């Protein structure tokens, strides 16, 4: 948008063209919906008291509007698709080299295992920061086999990693539908209604107990919340990598949840010690002493055992169900 | 010595973020000190001291905290230089949302948390809107979508800022923040510098100790609330 369009167009017309501009004035408590003035005229008409309340002078205000519109424009551009993320090893806390190079592709699941404090968070931070040998581990991250643009580190629209953990809760006072709509609008996603429908359908498929679009997000059960978070992240989050910190085996179909993320072409990194989840991954990174000590590829024998583990899991779930229904477990 | 002003609403996690960032800076051999500004009481100075961080505190008491801040910060910078610090961090709470301790040409950080509600970025004035770096905390306990929406709201009111997520408990993101504050401008003193934004002004009878309620006791810079219908939109 050039300067004359931005500053000389009557604001009612401008807001019609670019609805997000209303938010800018709204955040300075200036009502533009009923005014025929342009931004330049409106700024010129602000008196000293009004400017004092805002805490900016006219030139700063003009610059702020310019920056805002440029920033919003940048948000609407799609960035290059991540076809391959490469992690090149650095060294562990004892400065021993890690000596590995790992390519992660969309649709893959990689598990991260290791005790608390072993360096799992640092590995994720390295990915998120697109480390170039300049973090304590000396690792390098490549995107599509090239060094990513350094500017991406600081732009929220290039955030590589979306995170999901057991501790996360919804805190906004919104219904499920309002919540998804707000998320979609903050990202300028087209076809919002279609997105809402898809996310609702997916979340309900993942959750043990169904919920409606009018349910307040804060009153969802743990399983329902997790299901909505996963469906929303899979379908609406721009980040190509999803980090999952355990998924509790309650009220959510974990296998379907992972399948959804894989289908949506996410690279899934999962910190887990749950044997079923661990075997669903193609590979496991073993983290020890701040470094990747080993990379295990899930073997055919392990995969065969997965079926058995799932059978055990089902048995255990049945027993849970019987307890819930007030039965006894004198016979298993 | 480099100098950074850190501000943010009460309980946003400023101290935790600063402590984590200092850990990362110390690892690189930098000597970092803190001046903590508060109103009535703070124990944060002992927290800093227990980590071996050189610290001074200033309590504004009955004075406007940000006016107190700006009347003292020059001396604090001189103190930091005497202590031979590589980096001095000032920490102050923005209490009325219109204050801002940020100084021209001095790296300005605002700390704000995900739990404060998505209307909050809009409500905070120059402290957030004029910061160079906005640190968002408590991201580990809200959903991914809420983090994204919150960051987008911050971006809306401050499109120029670097927006970062730092976890004050695990320290995730603190290393990254430390690389930015380590590049803050190197200064000899604050002489000749000025605030980025004017501070809220008052100077009415209540500033001078008046306690009685009523129009006849109000003198000076007094503003009246609009209780008419059209005042409803006037927050």
B234: pLDDT confidence band, cut at 50, 70 and 90? very low
Count of the separate structural domains present in chain A: 2
**One domain for residues A249 and A199:** yes
- For residue A253, pLDDT over 90 is answered with no
Question: What are the backbone angles phi and psi of residue A76, rounded to the nearest 5°?
Answer: -85, -10
Q: Say whether residue A219 is in contact with chain B using an 8 A CB cutoff.
A: no
Domain closes at, from A16, A40, A75? A75
- Measured at the alpha carbon of residue A171, what is the angle toward residues A193 and A153, in degrees to the nearest 5? 80
**One domain for residues A153 and A39:** no
Q: What is the CA radius of gyration of chain A?
A: 25
**One domain for residues A31 and A140:** no
**One domain for residues A123 and A180:** yes
Alpha-carbon distance values, A56 to A273, B107, B113, B153, B155 (Å): 53, 18, 24, 19, 17
Does B145 contact A163 at a Cβ distance shorter than 8 Å? no
The chain-wide mean pLDDT, for chain A, equals: 89
Alpha-carbon distance values, B67 to B57, B127, B195, B208 (Å): 15, 14, 11, 15
Does B175 contact A135 at a Cβ distance shorter than 8 Å? yes
What integer pLDDT is reported at residue B233 of this predicted model? 52
- Both structure tokens of A33: 């919906």
CA distance B180 to chain A (A): 10
B184: pLDDT confidence band, cut at 50, 70 and 90? very high
Facing B140 at nearest CB: one of A31, A64, A167 = A167
Domain presence at residue A321: no
**Beta B2-8 vs A267-271: how paired, if at all?**
unpaired
**One domain for residues A53 and A133:** no
Please state, in angstroms and rounded to a whole number, the distance separating the CA atoms of residues B170 and B140: 9
Q: Say whether residue A170 is in contact with chain B using an 8 A CB cutoff.
A: yes
Does A232 contact B143 at a Cβ distance shorter than 8 Å? yes
Please state, in angstroms and rounded to a whole number, the distance separating the CA atoms of residues B127 and A17: 31
Domain presence at residue A40: yes
Give residue A67's domain range.
Answer: 3-75
Domain presence at residue A116: yes
- Which CATH number is A272's domain given? 3.40.50.300
What integer pLDDT is reported at residue A79 of this predicted model? 63
> Which of the two residues, A168 and A246, has the higher pLDDT score?
A168
Please state, in angstroms and rounded to a whole number, the distance separating the CA atoms of residues A158 and B155: 13
- For residue B44, pLDDT over 90 is answered with no
- Listed by start position, the domains of chain B span 2-181, 201-235
Domain closes at, from A41, A75, A109? A75
Residues of B in contact with A174 (CB under 8 A): none
Three-state DSSP at B20 gives helix
Would you say the ipTM is above 0.90?
A: no
Fold category of B2-181 in CATH = Rossmann fold (3.40.50)
- Both structure tokens of A44: 């010129």
Facing A232 at nearest CB: one of B141, B145, B152 = B145
Closest residue of chain A to B156, computed from CA coordinates: A68
Closest CA to A305 of A267, A276, A262, A274: A276
Residues of A in contact with B126 (CB under 8 A): 55-56
**One domain for residues A165 and A23:** no
Domain closes at, from A42, A75, A108? A75
**One domain for residues A239 and A123:** yes
Residues of B in contact with A233 (CB under 8 A): 144-145
- The DSSP 8-state label assigned to residue A79 in this structure reads P
Estimate the crossing angle of helix A222-236 against helix A176-186, to 10 degrees: 30
Domain presence at residue A90: yes
Q: Say whether residue A93 is in contact with chain B using an 8 A CB cutoff.
A: no
What integer pLDDT is reported at residue A76 of this predicted model? 67
- For residue A299, pLDDT over 60 is answered with yes
A160: pLDDT confidence band, cut at 50, 70 and 90? confident
> Which of the two residues, A261 and B97, has the higher pLDDT score?
A261
**One domain for residues A9 and A123:** no
Domain presence at residue A307: no
């Amino acid at each position: 948008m050039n300067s004359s369009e931005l500053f000389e167009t009557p604001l009612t017309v401008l807001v019609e063209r670019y609805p997000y501009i209303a938010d800018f004035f709204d955040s300075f408590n200036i009502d533009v919906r009923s005014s025929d003035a342009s931004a330049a005229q409106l700024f010129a008409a602000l008196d000293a008291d009004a400017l004092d309340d805002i805490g900016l002078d006219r030139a700063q205000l003009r610059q702020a509007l310019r920056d805002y519109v440029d920033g919003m424009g940048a948000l609407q551009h799609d960035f290059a698709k991540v076809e391959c993320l490469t992690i090149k090893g650095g060294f562990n806390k004892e400065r021993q080299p890690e000596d590995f190079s790992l390519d992660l592709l969309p649709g893959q699941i990689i598990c991260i295992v290791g005790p608390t404090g072993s360096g799992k968070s640092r590995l994720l931070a390295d990915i998120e920061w697109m480390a170039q040998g300049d973090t304590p581990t000396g690792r390098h991250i490549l995107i599509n086999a090239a060094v990513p643009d350094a500017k991406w580190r600081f732009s929220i629209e290039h955030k590589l990693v979306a995170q999901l953990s057991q501790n996360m809760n919804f805190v906004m006072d919104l219904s499920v539908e309002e919540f998804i709509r707000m998320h979609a609008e903050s990202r300028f996603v087209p076809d919002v209604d279609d997105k809402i429908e898809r996310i609702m359908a997916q979340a309900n498929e993942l959750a043990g107990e169904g919920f409606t679009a009018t349910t307040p997000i804060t009153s969802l059960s743990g399983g329902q919340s997790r299901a909505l978070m996963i469906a929303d992240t899979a379908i609406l989050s721009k980040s190509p990598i999803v980090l999952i910190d355990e998924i509790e085996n309650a009220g959510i179909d974990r296998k379907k949840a992972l399948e959804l993320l894989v289908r949506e072409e996410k690279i899934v990194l999962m910190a887990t010690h749950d044997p079923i989840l661990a075997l669903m991954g193609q590979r496991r990174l073993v983290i020890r002493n701040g470094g990747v000590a080993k990379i295990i590829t899930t073997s055919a024998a392990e995969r065969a055992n997965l079926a058995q583990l799932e059978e055990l899991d089902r048995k255990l779930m049945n027993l849970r169900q019987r307890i819930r229904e007030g039965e006894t477990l004198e016979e298993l | 010595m480099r100098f950074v002003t850190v501000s943010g609403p009460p309980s946003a996690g400023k101290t935790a973020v600063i402590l984590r960032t200092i850990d990362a800076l110390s690892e690189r051999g930098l000597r970092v000190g803190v001046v903590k500004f508060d109103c009535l009481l703070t124990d944060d100075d002992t927290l800093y001291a227990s980590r071996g961080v050189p610290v001074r505190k200033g309590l504004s008491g009955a004075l406007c905290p940000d006016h107190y801040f700006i009347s003292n910060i020059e001396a604090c910078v001189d103190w930091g230089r005497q202590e031979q610090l590589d980096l001095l961090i000032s920490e102050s709470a923005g209490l009325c949302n219109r204050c801002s301790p940020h100084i021209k040409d001095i790296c300005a950080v605002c700390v704000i948390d995900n739990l404060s509600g998505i209307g909050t970025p809009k409500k905070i004035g120059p402290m957030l809107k004029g910061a160079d770096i906005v640190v968002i905390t408590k991201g580990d306990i809200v959903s991914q979508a809420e983090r994204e929406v919150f960051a987008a709201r911050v971006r809306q009111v401050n499109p120029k800022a670097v927006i970062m997520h730092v976890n004050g408990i695990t320290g995730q993101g603190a290393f990254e923040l430390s690389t930015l504050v380590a590049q803050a401008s190197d200064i000899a003193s604050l002489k000749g510098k000025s605030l980025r934004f004017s501070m809220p002004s008052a100077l009415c009878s209540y500033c001078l100790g008046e306690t009685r309620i009523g129009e006849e006791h109000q003198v000076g810079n007094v503003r009246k609330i609009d209780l008419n219908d059209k005042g409803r939109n006037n927050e």
